[in-house]
């Protein structure tokens, strides 16, 4: 898999890693991207040979070996033993790894002041457009928002929690640097994401309220989702009970169905991109890999996505369509119930082989009904896959259960959506 060019490494360099099976140290090129540590055979390789999820991990200095450290944590399948090539690299990696592990965006005062300076110094605050959902024609600028805190950072900018002064509504403001977008040839992707969000109005898809720009930045003002990423909740609890997993899956199903009816494929379903709102409902976010104008018989060929969730047809490179989203849902649902994706391996190439060929196995805790649903979603033939060639309304009774949907409609105003899916 080639990494998303939108994501540049936070830190990189050569280290030596002890193998999991063959206990020898091999020199590898490492790239730290958020809380994921990717490693490659050599610098310049586009496809990593593996990655380590350092979220919640601990970095321990190895007292028995010079300039060496260990990574251990409950999310890691084993203890990783790594050594640096010199003292300077050793200290630099310790600093960067600990910074990534302990990063708390709510304490990012520097980022908050940076955006406040932009408000004071912006030469232009010309509005580009407002979303279909906020279609009053109202023009907005940075000065229309009170900046509260930084809630996240990325390669192209940051995400702020803001309050709209005129309404006191709390929203999220995604700030993107134009120079980085142009430099990385991501203009079309960024505009496509904005276009998709402008065209979609759905309770389980993040809403775009405003889009505007200054000379240096693009600003997308979105729903603020305080419940946190599904990834965070899975990390804390390891897995969910079946009813809770079905509850989230029901909302994701409705969101994906809505996208597909509008000929949009999502292509990046994973726990990091499902965020809970204030009422605890699952909302799809981040449409950077989404593709528009995809009919039922219109394939696309871009190799993209996150390794664990890639559908077999993407790996084969023979063209893929809407069915890839149902495969990814199957992987996510399995992970929510079991605690790990079904074909997971630290070695990415090995994981691809498992996705293509390995039998789907279930622990004894997964009941027959859930197994049947997962087998339907994780059918390797996209034409036979549940949601791909098989009619959703006939086969999704396990998720579209009356109890699940009544549970949604009885708690929030999202019930207006359900009348369209009965």
For residue 15 the two structure tokens come to 């280290």
**CA 323/CA 382 separation, integer angstroms:** 6
CB 11 within 8 Å of CB 32: yes
**CA 272/CA 280 separation, integer angstroms:** 15
Q: Residue 73: phi, psi to the nearest 5?
A: 180, 165
Catalytic (active-site) positions: 268
Angle among Cα 402, 405, 406 to the nearest 5 degrees reads 75
For residue 360 the two structure tokens come to 């789907």
**CA 209/CA 202 separation, integer angstroms:** 13
Q: How far is CA 109 from CA 149, 193, 322, in A?
A: 8, 28, 42
Per the annotation, does 183 bind a ligand? Answer: yes
CB 274 within 8 Å of CB 248: yes
Closest CA to 251 of 240, 259, 263, 239: 259
For residue 10 the two structure tokens come to 């936070």
**CA 84/CA 87 separation, integer angstroms:** 7
Who's near 405: CB < 8 A, 6+ residues apart?
A: 250, 418, 421, 422
Angle among Cα 37, 97, 226 to the nearest 5 degrees reads 85
Instruction: Decide the pairing of beta strands 228-229 and 282-284.
Output: unpaired
Who's near 368: CB < 8 A, 6+ residues apart?
A: none
Residues making up the binding site for ATP: 183
């Amino acid at each position: 898999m080639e990494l998303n060019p939108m994501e540049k490494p936070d830190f990189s360099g050569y280290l030596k890693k002890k193998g999991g099976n063959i206990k020898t140290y091999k020199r590898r090129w490492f790239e730290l991207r958020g809380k994921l540590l990717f490693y490659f055979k050599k610098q310049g390789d586009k496809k990593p040979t593996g990655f380590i999820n350092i979220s919640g991990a601990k970095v321990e200095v190895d007292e028995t070996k010079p300039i060496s450290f260990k990574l251990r944590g409950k999310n890691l399948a084993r203890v990783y033993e790594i050594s640096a090539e010199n003292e300077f690299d050793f200290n630099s990696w310790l600093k960067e790894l600990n910074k990534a592990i302990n990063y708390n965006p709510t304490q990012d005062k520097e980022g908050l002041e940076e955006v406040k300076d932009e408000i004071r110094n912006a030469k232009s605050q010309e509005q580009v457009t407002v979303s279909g959902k906020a279609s009053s024609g109202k023009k907005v600028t940075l000065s229309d928002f009170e900046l509260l805190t930084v809630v996240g950072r990325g390669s192209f900018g940051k995400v702020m929690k803001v309050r709209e002064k005129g309404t006191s509504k709390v929203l999220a403001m995604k700030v993107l640097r134009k120079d980085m977008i142009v430099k990385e040839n991501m203009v079309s992707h960024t505009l496509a994401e904005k276009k998709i969000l402008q065209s979609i109005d759905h309770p389980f898809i993040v809403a775009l309220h405003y889009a505007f720009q200054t000379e240096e930045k693009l600003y997308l003002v979105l729903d603020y989702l305080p419940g946190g990423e599904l990834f965070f909740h899975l990390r804390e609890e390891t897995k969910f009970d079946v009813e809770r997993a079905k509850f989230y899956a029901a909302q994701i199903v409705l969101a994906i169905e809505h996208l597909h009816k509008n000929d949009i494929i999502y292509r990046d379903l994973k726990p990091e991109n499902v965020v809970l709102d204030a009422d605890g409902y699952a909302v799809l976010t981040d449409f950077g890999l989404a593709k528009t104008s995809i009919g039922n018989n219109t394939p696309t060929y871009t190799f993209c996505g996150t390794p664990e969730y890639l559908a077999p047809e993407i790996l084969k490179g023979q063209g893929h369509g809407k069915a890839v989203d149902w495969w990814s849902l199957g992987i996510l649902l399995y992970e929510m119930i079991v605690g790990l994706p079904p074909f997971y391996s630290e070695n990415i190439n090995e994981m691809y082989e498992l996705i293509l060929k390995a039998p789907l196995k279930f622990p004894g805790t997964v009941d027959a009904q859930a197994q049947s649903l997962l087998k339907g979603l994780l059918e390797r033939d996209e034409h036979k896959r549940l949601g791909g060639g098989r009619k959703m309304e006939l086969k999704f009774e396990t998720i579209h259960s009356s109890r699940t949907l009544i549970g949604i409609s009885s708690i929030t105003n999202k019930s207006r959506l359900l009348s369209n899916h009965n």
